[in-house]
Chains A and B, each alone.
Chain A
Amino acid sequence: MSAGWFARRVLLIGYTLLVVSLVVFAVTEILPADAAVVILGQNATPAALAAVRARLGLNDPAWLQYWHWLWPALHGNFGISMRTDQPVGPEMFAALGRSLLLAAGAIFLMLVVAIPLGLAAALGRGRSIDLLAGLISYLGVSLPEFVTATLLLMIFADRLGWLPATGYVPLTQNPLAGLSHLALPALTVALVLIAHVSRMLRSEMIDVLASEYVRAARLKGLPWRIVIFRHALRNALLPVITVVALDVGYVLGGIIVVEEIFAIPGIGRALIVAIEARDLPAIQAAAVIMAATYAGVNFLADIAYALLDKRIRYE
């Protein structure tokens, strides 16, 4: 990984986000809502509306409005919420933090299930364990989140009563309660992703097990677990990283539904609330922050890939 590669990637991400911000701004501009009407209500006098328009700069040309929005946004200041009259930025970043916690929990749960599942399927290829693993994966990926969420709620919250149904408790306040509130939503998101990773790992693992270097490792008389874990799994996991990075993008989208079902105040829910309230600054902030997170995660995945696969050198 050279400094040049790094600089180029950062530039590219900056460019991507610039395009995203343009699109977001343009789309929210053409929404059938007049910000002044939203603020003052349907019965406001024309004079009052004109005054608000002047104050918000709504009479300026579009590019100037864009610039007036973009420049503070680059500093984390996305304006004042039309709904709460509070600054949008801090609220959104706090929501993002909660969402990332949920996403991390989901990815973690997914890996904990998917890696052993993929491994078992590859090692027991064509046997019942392989079929079972396939069944679990495909069931997870084919059921929509609102169905799995409902099923999980019925079993774990309603029938067994092991876990709380909805709500959010900060980990700093009560770690145990915080985790138990995250468990079901994280599991819901994880179930969808298990198929990607376990199927990918299965096919990679089957290729690697047939490779000459795994044969060589076996002919060195190495114990089975060293052949599998040190020689085979390591190489089979590399392409999986890319899939996980793509999945993070999916999680950021899929989380909107899950946060809504489980009443978690994350960025997805913040986006829905903002859209319902036609809170333009909040919509813009949420969309841009989500895009930035996605780009950032993929960047991290590239770096992780290079660190793990010694053959890759970004130049």
Chain B
Amino acid sequence: MSPVLSIENYRLEYRSSGTAFRALDDVSLTIGPGEVLGLVGESGSGKSSLAAAIMRLLPPNSREGGGTIRFQGEDLRAMGPRQLRSVRGRRIAMVFQDPSSALNPTLTLGRQVSEVLETHRGLTPPEARAEALAMLRHVEIKDPEALFARYPHEASGGEKQRVVIAAAFACHPELVLLDEPTTALDVLTGARILELVRRLRAQIGMAGLYISHDLALVSRVADRIAVIRGGRIVEEQPAATIFRNPRHPYTRLLAEAAPRPDRRLTTDEAGAEPLLGLDSLSVRYDRRGVFRRRAATGAENVSFTIREREVLGVIGESGSGKSSLARALAGLVRFEGTIRFTGRSVKGPGAMDRAYRRAVQIVFQSPDSSLNPRQRVREILARPLKMFGGNVAEIPRLLDEVRLAPNYAARYPHELSGGEKQRVAIARAFAARPRLVICDEITAALDVSMQASVIELLLALRAAHDTAYLFITHDLNLIAEVAHRVAVMYRGRLVDLLPVAQLREGDVHPYTGALIAASPLPVTA
């Protein structure tokens, strides 16, 4: 059978102010009819450039080198604007990473599906509306009539992604490009979207290119997997075998770095002594108006105890209250209830003395916004050292502990990579010699290989300093690897608190059960 898409020896460069960057280097790929190819790579690997090249929507500073891109035997590169318009959206459709930015904020959701039908199938507006409603029903929207008239800001992330998918599948395309379609969504919503994609694929039988950074996830949806690194395809093999038998060292690294629940990275036990406890801690956010006050709840009556040297994982979807909890503990928001710490009761941020603030440190998700861009690493680290009785001479030792060379002290944050910035943020937390470090989704913005090295670093620091961690993440597999116990947050409440080993034993809150079911296990069998 002739392939739906075949790319041969394709090259692409980006040029900016005289320098050229090779984004895609001699890329060859084929996708057969009804086949889904997974394209796995980390940020900057060129996977999104490849999607842009197939859709023929490259940025102005790109220069294409040699090579062909053929779709059903036709040369996409030779097509003019008119021909491309008849291919895009009709024969090749795309599902985007973030539905919130891919949908037009001033058009109704229904309109954004029906316009595709009007354009490509020549339907009249009423016909297109009826067809779009049918399509929305097809992607399991509960009340299509109501959703049709709503605007993007009035719908949930999952609903929006379903609308994007409905628009993509509306004309029964021959090929669908899926660019990280679940990355911007909650774990549970993402799992449901993935299920929907699988079902549509079985019904429509289209070919697909599934782009993702997550090897474990892709191995569950794709037939074959191509691994891309630095613009080159380094390995290609069936999804069923890639985890078991990665051939290229980079694939091996990715497979090794993917969090797996059947592997433990933390091997020792937590201490027996309690370190810090919460007694019915609540965080409420007031929105003050002239005429009324409304309170939004961040966290409600949360109680638990962290022991010495314990890694306590906290999991929950966005808005579940896990970050509110972190902020309350770090003294960044007002809270009700009590924090017990070394035999004292802390009733609010104002009651946190220097000893508490020194002992409890926090590392944030994005080092880009938590590191002052106008300070050198030296200044960033000197502040906590001076505040908590350290010595500026310790800076080289701190840098060494997070595996950065001493000359990094003179650099600014923008001169560092994402992983290096997060190491500086970790060093800043450890400058205070803390007893507890709150890690608020600190690896969420990092690639898997980078995540693995940051996790390894955290565990090494814990071994050296006997630090306890409150480890907040949305990745249950990661928690299963590193935490002693897991706290599950749902709608501001703590619904489960149990040892990690008991996670798979079944006696859990329904929400925890759903999370376990939604966490992708790599295909290793």
Residues of A within 8 A of B (CB): 4, 8, 211-213, 215-224, 226, 230-231, 234-235, 238, 308-311, 315
Residue of A8, A221, A235 touching B105 (CB-CB under 8 A): A235
Q: Are the CB atoms of A4 and B104 closer together than 8 Å?
A: no
A220 to B116, Cβ gap below 8 A?
Answer: yes
Identify the closest chain B residue to A312 (Cβ): B153
Closest approach, in angstroms, between the C-beta of A187 and any C-beta of chain B?
32
Contact with A along B274-315 (1 / 0, CB 8 A): 000000000000000111000000000000000000000000
Known: A310-B151, A310-B153, A311-B153. A221 touches B120 (CB 8 A): yes
CA distance A90 to B463 in the complex (A): 87
Q: In the complex, what residues of A have CB within 8 A of residue B88's CB?
A: 218-221
Report the 7 A-B pairs with minimum CB-CB distance, sorted nearest first. A221-B89, A221-B88, A220-B89, A212-B101, A310-B151, A216-B102, A213-B104
Known: A216-B96, A310-B153. A223 touches B119 (CB 8 A): yes
Contacts of A230 in B (CB 8 A): 107, 115
- The smallest beta-carbon distance between A217 and chain B, in angstroms, is 7
Residues of chain B contacted by A220 (CB below 8 angstroms): 88-89, 93, 115-116, 119, 167
Say yes or no: B291 contacts A217, CB within 8 Å: no
CB distance from A11 to the nearest CB of B (A): 10
- Docked-complex contact B96 and A223, CB < 8 angstroms: no
Asked, given contacts A215-B57, A216-B103, whether A221 binds B85 with beta carbons under 8 Å apart, the answer is yes
For B94, B107, B116, B164, which residue has the most chain A Cβ atoms within 10 angstroms? B107
Q: How far is the CA of A216 from the CA of B104 in the complex (A)?
A: 9
Is B409 located at the chain interface by the 8 A CB criterion?
A: no
Q: Which residues of A contact B55 (CB under 8 A)?
A: 219
What A residues does B105 contact at CB under 8 A? 213, 235, 309-311
Which residues from B are CB-within-8-Å of A310? 105-106, 151, 153-154
Residue of A nearest to B291 (CB): A4
Q: Enumerate 12 A-B pairs (CB-CB under 8 Å) in ascending A order.
A: A216-B102, A219-B88, A220-B167, A221-B86, A221-B87, A222-B85, A230-B115, A234-B106, A238-B106, A310-B106, A310-B154, A311-B105
Residues on the A chain within 8 Å of B81, using CB: 224
Q: Which residues B104-125 have CB closer than 8 A to chain A? A: 104-107, 115-116, 119-120
Q: Cβ of B291 and Cβ of A235 under 8 Å apart?
A: no
Q: Give which listed residue, B86, B87, B120, B290, contacts A8 with CB less than 8 A.
A: B290
A309 vs B105: C-alpha distance when bound (angstroms): 8
Q: Contacts A8-B291, A220-B119, A309-B106; is A211 near B89 (CB within 8 Å)?
A: no
Q: Complex formed: what's the CA distance from A234 to B151 in Å?
A: 14
CA distance A218 to B81 in the complex (A): 11
Q: Given A8-B291, A219-B57, A221-B86, do A212 and B119 touch, yes or no (CB 8 Å)?
A: no
Interface presence of B90 (CB below 8 A): yes
Interface centre among A8, A216, A217, A235 (most CB of B within 10 A): A216
User: A238 vs B106: C-alpha distance in the bound complex, in angstroms?
Assistant: 10
Nearest CB to that of A216 among chain B residues? B102
Contacts of A215 in B (CB 8 A): 57, 102
For the complex, what is the distance from the CA of A309 to the CA of B151, rounded to whole Å? 10
B96 smallest CB distance to A (angstroms) = 6
Q: How far is the CA of A230 from the CA of B103 in the complex (A)?
A: 13
